């Protein structure tokens, strides 16, 4: 029997020349099951015998064994099975890896925000949200309310164990929405800096880690709550209906571009994809003395627009999407050139002039990320933007959560947060 070091969760001396190894046994389909094996050691006689410690060193590398995890479970996420999924697929792997867990089941909307605001962060090595993308969004915004916000964001990894209808974070980081794969990846993951998106709207500020969308996608994300029982399929169905109906979502945008067209974005990605970034040791950005949430570097939505932002009037906009993770679902590689901490956001939009047939084909191309080659689609890497909707009824989705349909501005906040990654980059970039 062969057990890969990457699957080993724990090793300890069992006496009589044997070592007991706990490991995540691959079951096919990206699923793993906690198992154990008793290894009989061969004595080499040269003093280099394999010990439980050498196995543990190989199995973990620079990752921390026995992590202390705060587990937050959203009983409302997905089809309402988050707790059962956690107990069945994740808890046995955490236990086998000698991780300790404190488990909280959220009682209401924004409960995770309150928990993150008040939690004693010194007690944990990670916060794991058994949910869709909604709970990580709430946790980030709870951290944002703390006086030690910058330090907590940067040093306490925020992770997702996929249990929702939208599990973009887990798919982007681990490559698949399998809860047991996520548990194993969290156990074996190292802290990795993550760029955040800092948003202002009216007098409020919010942090976003995944996306903002307006137009087709937002409508389908948020206008299909009544179809929650369908699971992820509800998004695809919603998009199809809207595409066929040709709805427009007029708006004005102003953008601070870094790489304006897709060939530049791609070239940039290819230059940076192999250069795994170093871990960041400086805790505080130089421009603030306090650890609380700093003001946005580029001002708020209420400030005059800066001259170096390009203004666009999009009268027949169909879809507007900004993100910082590659996968928006397991079957949508929406932003193929996204990197976790490259200091840029991905912006994608198209207008109804793309045509309905083309638009439908484009949605099919999204699965492999080929949509970005469509000349009617604009794909860029940007630093900041402002969006002013020209309609009063409709949806604005931030990380899959509903926001008021009012003007807002977003800028990148480089390396502000951290998560756990087994690859030190996004899963698609690691291949």
Does position 106 interact with ligand ADP (CB under 6 A)? The reply is yes
Does position 141 interact with ligand ADP (CB under 6 A)? The reply is no
**Cα–Cα distance list, 399 to 82, 114, 120, 205, 393 (Å):** 19, 18, 26, 14, 20
User: What crossing angle do the helices spanning 111-118 and 134-143 adopt, rounded to 10°?
Assistant: 40
Instruction: State the virtual CA torsion across 264, 270, 276, 278 in degrees, nearest 10.
Output: -30
Largest CA distance in the chain: 78
Integer Cα distance of 66 and 13 in angstroms: 17
- Cβ-closest position to ligand ADP: 132
Region 303-332 residues binding Mg ion, contact defined as CB under 5 A: 324
51: its two tokens: 């010990």
Integer Cα distance of 253 and 314 in angstroms: 8
CB 131 within 8 A of CB 163: yes
Cβ proximity to ligand ADP, 29 vs 80, nearer residue: 80
What's the closest the beta carbon of residue 195 comes to Mg ion, in angstroms? 5
Cβ proximity to Mg ion, 74 vs 425, nearer residue: 425
In terms of DSSP H, where are the helices of 366-430? 427-430
Interface pick for Mg ion out of 342, 351, 383, 399 (rule CB under 5 A) = 342
Does position 189 interact with ligand ADP (CB under 6 A)? The reply is no
Binding mask 382-411 for ligand ADP (x = CB under 6 A): ------------------xx----------
Return the number of other C-beta atoms located less than 10 Å from residue 290's C-beta.
Answer: 11
Q: Which does 179 bind (CB under 5 to 8 A by kind): Mg ion, ligand ADP, none?
A: none
Whether 285 is catalytic: no
Which sign does the torsion angle of CA 312, 406, 389, 78 carry?
positive
Cβ proximity to Mg ion, 168 vs 187, nearer residue: 168
Cβ proximity to ligand ADP, 135 vs 199, nearer residue: 135
Phi, psi angle pair for 165, to nearest 5°: -85, -35
Cβ proximity to ligand ADP, 126 vs 170, nearer residue: 170
Strands (E), 60-189: 68-73, 100-105, 126-131, 158-162
Q: Which does 342 bind (CB under 5 to 8 A by kind): ligand ADP, Mg ion, none?
A: Mg ion
Interface pick for ligand ADP out of 8, 55, 97, 135 (rule CB under 6 A) = 135
Cβ proximity to ligand ADP, 234 vs 242, nearer residue: 234
Does position 107 interact with ligand ADP (CB under 6 A)? The reply is yes
Question: Applying CB under 6 A, which part among 31-39, 89-97, 101-109, 322-330 lies near ligand ADP?
Answer: 101-109
Q: Which does 132 bind (CB under 5 to 8 A by kind): Mg ion, ligand ADP, none?
A: ligand ADP
CB 179 within 8 A of CB 32: no
What's the closest the beta carbon of residue 262 comes to Mg ion, in angstroms? 15
Spot the catalytic one: 133, 219, 342, 399. 133
419: its two tokens: 């998560």
Question: Rg of the chain over CA atoms, in angstroms?
Answer: 22
Does position 232 interact with ligand ADP (CB under 6 A)? The reply is no
123: its two tokens: 């007690």
Cβ proximity to Mg ion, 124 vs 413, nearer residue: 413
Does position 162 interact with ligand ADP (CB under 6 A)? The reply is no
Q: Which residues of 150-186 are buried (b: 16+ CB within 10 A; e: fewer)?
A: bebbbebbbbbbbbbbbbbbbbbbbbbbbbbbbbbbb
CB 191 within 8 A of CB 280: no
What's the closest the beta carbon of residue 171 comes to ligand ADP, in angstroms? 12
Does position 226 interact with ligand ADP (CB under 6 A)? The reply is no
**Cα–Cα distance list, 349 to 162, 203, 250, 313 (Å):** 27, 27, 12, 12
Does position 74 interact with ligand ADP (CB under 6 A)? The reply is yes
Cβ proximity to ligand ADP, 106 vs 362, nearer residue: 106
What's the closest the beta carbon of residue 381 comes to Mg ion, in angstroms? 8
Q: Which does 106 bind (CB under 5 to 8 A by kind): Mg ion, ligand ADP, none?
A: ligand ADP
Does position 109 interact with ligand ADP (CB under 6 A)? The reply is yes
Look at residues 110, 87, 91 and name the one whose alpha carbon lies nearest to residue 100: 91
Give me the residue label for tokens 């300790």. Answer: 100
What's the closest the beta carbon of residue 338 comes to Mg ion, in angstroms? 5
Q: Which does 164 bind (CB under 5 to 8 A by kind): ligand ADP, Mg ion, none?
A: ligand ADP
What's the DSSP call for residue 423?
A: S
Residues binding ligand ADP (CB under 6 A): 74-78, 106-109, 111, 131-135, 138, 164-166, 400-401
Residues binding Mg ion (CB under 5 A): 324, 339, 342
Catalytic center residues: 133
């Amino acid at each position: 029997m062969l057990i890969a070091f990457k699957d080993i969760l724990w090793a300890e001396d069992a006496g009589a020349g044997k070592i007991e190894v706990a490991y995540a046994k691959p079951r096919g389909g990206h699923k793993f099951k906690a198992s154990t094996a008793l290894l009989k050691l061969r004595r080499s006689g040269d003093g280099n015998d394999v010990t439980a410690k050498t196995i543990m060193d190989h199995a973990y590398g620079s990752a921390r064994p026995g992590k202390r995890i705060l587990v937050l479970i959203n009983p409302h996420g997905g089809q309402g099975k988050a707790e059962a999924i956690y107990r069945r697929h994740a808890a046995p792997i955490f236990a086998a890896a000698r991780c300790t867990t404190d488990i909280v089941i959220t009682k209401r909307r924004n409960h995770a925000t309150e928990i993150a605001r008040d939690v004693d962060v010194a007690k944990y090595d990670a916060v794991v949200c058994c949910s869709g993308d909604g709970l990580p969004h709430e946790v980030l915004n709870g951290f944002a309310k703390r006086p030690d916000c910058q330090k907590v964001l940067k040093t306490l990894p925020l992770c997702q164990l996929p249990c929702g209808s939208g599990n973009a974070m887990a798919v982007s980081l681990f490559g698949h929405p399998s809860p047991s794969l996520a548990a194993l990846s969290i156990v074996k993951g190292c802290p990795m800096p993550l760029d955040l998106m800092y948003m202002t709207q009216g007098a409020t500020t919010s942090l976003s880690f995944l996306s903002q969308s307006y137009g087709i996608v937002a409508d389908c994300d948020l206008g299909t709550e009544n179809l929650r029982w369908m699971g992820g399929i509800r998004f695809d169905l919603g998009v199809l209906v809207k595409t066929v109906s040709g709805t427009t979502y007029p708006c004005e945008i102003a953008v601070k571009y870094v790489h304006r067209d897709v060939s530049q974005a791609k070239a940039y990605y290819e230059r940076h994809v192999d250069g795994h970034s170093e871990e960041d040791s400086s805790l505080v950005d130089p421009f603030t003395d306090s650890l609380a949430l700093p003001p946005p570097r580029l001002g708020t939505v209420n400030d005059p627009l800066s001259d170096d932002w390009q203004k666009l009037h999009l009268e027949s906009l169909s879809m507007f999407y900004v993100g910082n993770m590659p996968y928006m679902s397991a079957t949508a590689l929406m932003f193929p050139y996204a990197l976790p901490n490259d200091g840029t956001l991905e912006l994608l939009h198209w207008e109804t002039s793309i045509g309905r047939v083309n638009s439908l084909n484009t949605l099919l191309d999204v699965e492999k990320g080929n949509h970005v080659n469509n000349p009617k689609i604009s794909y860029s890497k940007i630093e900041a933007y402002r969006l002013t909707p020209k309609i009063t009824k409709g949806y604005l989705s931030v990380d899959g959560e509903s926001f008021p349909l009012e003007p807002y501005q977003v800028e990148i906040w480089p390396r502000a947060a951290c998560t756990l990654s087994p690859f030190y980059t996004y899963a698609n970039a690691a291949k």
